[in-house]
Amino acid sequence: MGRFADALRVPGLGAIAEIKRRSPSAGDLRPDADPARIAPAYARAGAAAVSVLVDERFGGTWDDLRAARVSSDVALLAKGFFSTADDLRTAKEAGADAVLLLLRDLDDDTTRALMAEAERLGLDTLVEAHDAEELDRGIALGAPVLGVNARDLTTFAIDREAQLGLVARAPRDRVVIAESGIVSRAQGAAAELAGADAILVGSTLMRALDPAAKLAELVSRPLVKVCGLTREEDVAVAADAGADLLGFVLAPGSPRAAATVLPVPDEALAVAVWVGAAGESPADLDQVHTVEPGKVRGRDATLYRRGDAVARVVDLPWQEDDPEHWQRAAAIDGRVVLAGGLGPENVAEAIAAVRPWAVDASSSLELVPGVKDHARVRAYVEAARA
């Protein structure tokens, strides 16, 4: 694999930030977009790579790719409807590190020939699938980098759930990219937990007042979880404040037990919190605490996605303190959700000490168990996202 693929094989969730002036599905997005300015701004904001539309249907030209190449050393993906070796040679000469190959438009023999030509030219390929049949073709072709597009390029409809299912099916020895339909940190995290190495984001960035700042927001960590929610009004406030994960305790013995998982906005993820074992719920994720005799829950928990462990929740003992709590959490490898004793006053300090994947607060944000103090919820989320 080459420079583009290597840039995406890094710990955590990478991002391919896209430059396009318009979209066939959405019309004009940013007609005055200047690749020479946007590409280096994306790189400074943390983009692993930059995608440049070179097709006129998206308001793009090969000169856009050349301008991005001259202005930045970031890995560049040439994005268009490529079908010939000449297309690939043009991409290489314009400064691309990789090219897009759409399985929707290419048969296996053509795709195989273009992959071989790309390798000869020193280009990586992003082989894009939209459905299970196309994904299976990409896997069988041995594509090192597989993209799964949530958008149907015929109808332009977005199906993120189908995308996440396909991402989860992709072999872990490939670089897997979740493309399209991502507007929030939580949606990017959902792709990450399903197995994506990176997300490709275009329209969301192009619509933003500051595309680079929006990119930095999408890939920033930690995620912020507000737990112990029992009322719709508290869910609305937490989501409006910018919480990424909204937690509902489904353990009957808890003082903040919820009757059910309430609806959450599309931009956030619902987390069902259990003790002992997960049950059935509509939540996106399950947080399962250990059992400890005489206590509502054990100390730590595991975060699951569709039965697969994806993170470790590092908590305080039930109704007890531990002066070594943050140091203990900081020593744990992998994704860590830091919980226990967090609130507006100390969450920034905890983040600096632990560098967790997510932070989790519940009782410190309450007026009484199960009823949130809206001012404290907003202050906590603001401090955690600062």
* pLDDT for position 154: 81
Same-domain pairing of 206 and 336: no
Q: Is the dihedral of CA 148, 186, 159, 305 positive or negative?
A: positive
Task: Render pLDDT for 203-253 as a digit per residue (tens, 0 to 9).
Answer: 999 999 999 999 999 999 999 999 999 999 999 999 999 999 999 999 988
* pLDDT for position 124: 98
Domain boundary residue, one of 188, 219, 250: 219
Task: Render pLDDT for 5-62 as a digit per residue (tens, 0 to 9).
Answer: 999 998 899 999 999 999 887 788 899 999 999 999 999 999 999 999 999 888 899 9
C-alpha closest to that of 97 among 43, 138, 142 = 43
Instruction: Report the CATH number that the domain containing residue 145 is assigned in CATH.
Output: 3.20.20.70
C-alpha closest to that of 297 among 321, 323, 322, 277 = 277
Domain boundary residue, one of 176, 196, 219: 219
Same-domain pairing of 172 and 255: no
Same-domain pairing of 187 and 259: no
For residue 77, the surrounding DSSP H or E stretch is strand 75-79
Same-domain pairing of 163 and 255: no
Domain boundary residue, one of 174, 189, 219: 219
Overall number of domains in the chain: 2
Q: Give the range of the structural domain holding residue 297, as residue numbers without chain letter.
A: 223-385
Instruction: Give the residues of the chain that fall short of pLDDT 70.
Output: none
* pLDDT for position 10: 87
- DSSP 8-state assignment for residue 34: -
Same-domain pairing of 181 and 274: no
Same-domain pairing of 79 and 149: yes
Same-domain pairing of 255 and 209: no
Q: How many CB atoms within 10 Å of residue 51?
A: 26
Same-domain pairing of 237 and 122: no
Same-domain pairing of 265 and 305: yes
Same-domain pairing of 184 and 307: no
Question: Token pair of 371, please?
Answer: 């009823």
* pLDDT for position 153: 79
d(CA 175, CA 164): 15
d(CA 318, CA 355): 23
Same-domain pairing of 164 and 313: no
Same-domain pairing of 157 and 266: no
- Record the pTM: 0.94
* Total number of residues shown for the chain: 386
